């Protein structure tokens, strides 16, 4: 096992696995939040590696590609789940006067899907499937963890000089 694999497992895979042991799926929300920031790091690293810009539009397009969803679904996920949870610890429901899709979590849903309920748009999310896909993406190339100059991959036991 490489150093990157060891650290990735110790810092992310094992804690996320422990969350799955909580009753009633109660760890899913924190797993989803963690997977959101891990996904963003992955997507930024991938886009930069490809020589692309890593702005919001490109990140959403990458999300759509990585999860096999259309752009409206990826956009809704990014605004409602990613922006909401990572900025204010709850899914976002309104932005600059614009109503965003309602959201629901359920074990029967795919990682993300945009549908309707009672004539209203609803973003359906299965946190564990999203998390598993993000971990799978990272496992495909853990070397990207070291690609960020702004947020270098830390090593255990190293003190700043």
- Which pLDDT score, from 0 to 100, does residue 160 have? 57
Per-residue model confidence as pLDDT tens digits over 44-73: 999 999 999 999 999 999 999 999 999 999
Mean pLDDT of 124-130: 97
Mean pLDDT of 77-102: 93
- Which pLDDT score, from 0 to 100, does residue 146 have? 83
Using the CB atoms, write b or e for 124-143: b if 16+ within 10 Å: bbbbbbbbbbbbebbeeebe
Burial (CB count within 10 angstroms: exposed 0-12, middle 13-18, buried 19+), residue 67: buried
- Which pLDDT score, from 0 to 100, does residue 2 have? 86
pLDDT value at 10 more than 60: yes
pLDDT value at 104 more than 60: yes
Q: Where are the domains of the chain?
A: 3-90+128-146
Mean pLDDT of 13-33: 95
Question: What does pTM read for this prediction?
Answer: 0.92
The enclosing H or E element of 56 equals helix 56-67
CB 69 within 8 A of CB 112: yes
- Which pLDDT score, from 0 to 100, does residue 97 have? 87
- Which pLDDT score, from 0 to 100, does residue 145 have? 86
Q: What is the chain's mean pLDDT, rounded?
A: 92
pLDDT value at 147 more than 90: no
pLDDT value at 93 more than 90: yes
3 state DSSP class of 116 = strand
Instruction: Output phi, psi for 97, to 5 deg.
Output: 80, -10
Closest by alpha carbon to 61, among 77, 49, 38? 77
């Amino acid at each position: 096992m490489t150093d990157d694999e060891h650290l990735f497992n110790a810092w992310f895979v094992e804690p996320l696995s422990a969350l799955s042991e909580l009753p009633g799926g109660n760890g899913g929300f924190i797993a989803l939040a963690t997977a959101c920031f891990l996904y963003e790091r992955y997507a930024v690293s991938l886009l930069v590696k490809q020589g692309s810009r890593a702005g919001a539009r490109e990140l959403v397009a990458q999300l759509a590609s990585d999860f096999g969803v259309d752009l409206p679904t990826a956009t809704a996920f990014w605004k409602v789940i990613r922006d909401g949870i990572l900025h204010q610890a709850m899914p976002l429901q309104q932005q600059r006067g614009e109503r965003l899709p309602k959201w629901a979590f359920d074990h029967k849903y795919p990682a993300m899907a945009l549908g309707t309920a009672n004539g209203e748009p609803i973003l359906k999310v299965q946190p564990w499937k999203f998390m598993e896909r993000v971990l799978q993406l990272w496992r495909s190339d853990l070397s990207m963890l070291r690609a960020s100059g702004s947020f270098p991959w830390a090593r255990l036991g190293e003190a700043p000089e």
